[in-house]
Amino acid sequence: MSTTESLQDRANALRLYGLLAHWTELTDAHWVEPLLQWEEDERARRSLERRIRDAHLGNFKPLCDFDWAWPTRCDRLALEELMSLEFVRDHANVVLIGPNGVGKSTLALNLAYQALVNGHTALFTTAGQMLGELASLDSDSALRRRLHRYASPAILVIDEVGYLSYSNRHADLLFELVSRRYGVASTVVTTNKPFSEWSEVFPNAACVVSLVDRLVHRAEVVAIEGESYRVKEARERAEQRAKKRNATRQERKS
């Protein structure tokens, strides 16, 4: 394919019909290629911004700022391999297990962001928000539409499973969603409970064993252990404030 034909195909893909209508007049126009590049770059940038906004990622710490030395247990190699997104291409799941404040949500958000940058669709939600929303719908058609919304993205992050207890209705809805995505799209779950304790999260729910089975089949399960990083930061801020107050007292005495 000649350069001219390639440029014309790019202009057509961008739907620059006014430019295409005068294409024969642009044979020697050297500004056409940079114009197309500017348009492609700007559309890609706006598309990424829109998809990030629609994914509800909010503000989060980028992976380059993650303190790998803080957790007492964290398989950095496994997590960095996950950032290659092979699990998305394989329609496999990811489960991040660990106590509060060790970075599970940050890592999950970075996985979603990496997927968006690479052209995939993604959606981030907490378990409480999603299950509460689904359970509140009072018509089958509304429930089907909302389930479709959560079932559609290439990667769905369900954050904070285990922080609340849920009814059988909530358990059934989560099982329905995980089943819809099973083998079709990737689900990333963060939880502070080992799977053996999920019966406490969904007490008396008959589908818990099947839910866990669908979720972990062909999944990468990464355990993270350590003290809460938020507690560490709060302690450091308190220490800094105490030092500042002590310095002020010393200045007033002198």
Query: How far is it, in rounded angstroms, from Cα 143 to Cα 249?
Result: 61
Top CATH class, 63-231: alpha beta
For tokens 């995505």, the residue is: 181
> In the chain, what are the domain boundaries?
3-55, 63-231
Does this model's pTM top 0.85?
no
pLDDT digits (tens, 9 = 90+) for 11-39: 888 888 898 888 888 877 888 888 888 88
pLDDT above 90 (res 190): yes
| pLDDT value at residue 233 | 67
Nearest to 171 by CA among 199, 141, 148: 199
pLDDT above 60 (res 196): yes
pLDDT digits (tens, 9 = 90+) for 100-126: 989 999 999 999 999 999 999 999 999
End-to-end CA distance of the chain: 81
What beta strand segments (E) does the chain contain?
94-97, 122-126, 155-161, 186-191, 220-223
| pLDDT value at residue 239 | 73
Q: In what order do the strands lie in the sheet with 220-223?
A: 122-126, 155-161, 186-191, 94-97, 220-223
> Can you spell out the DSSP letters for 184-198?
TSEEEEEESS-GGGH
Band of the pLDDT at 98, cuts 50, 70, 90? very high
Question: Which of 45-54, 83-92, 176-185 has the weakest average pLDDT?
Answer: 45-54
Return the structure tokens found at 113: 């962001």
Q: In three state form, how does the secondary structure of 143-190 look? A: HHHHHHHHHCCCEEEEEEECCCCCCHHHHHHHHHHHHHHCCCCEEEEE
Return the structure tokens found at 54: 């629609």
Kindly tell me the burial class for residue 92, based on how many C-beta atoms sit within 10 Å of its own C-beta (0-12, 13-18, 19 or more).
Answer: middle
pLDDT digits (tens, 9 = 90+) for 58-93: 989 999 999 998 899 999 999 999 999 999 999 999
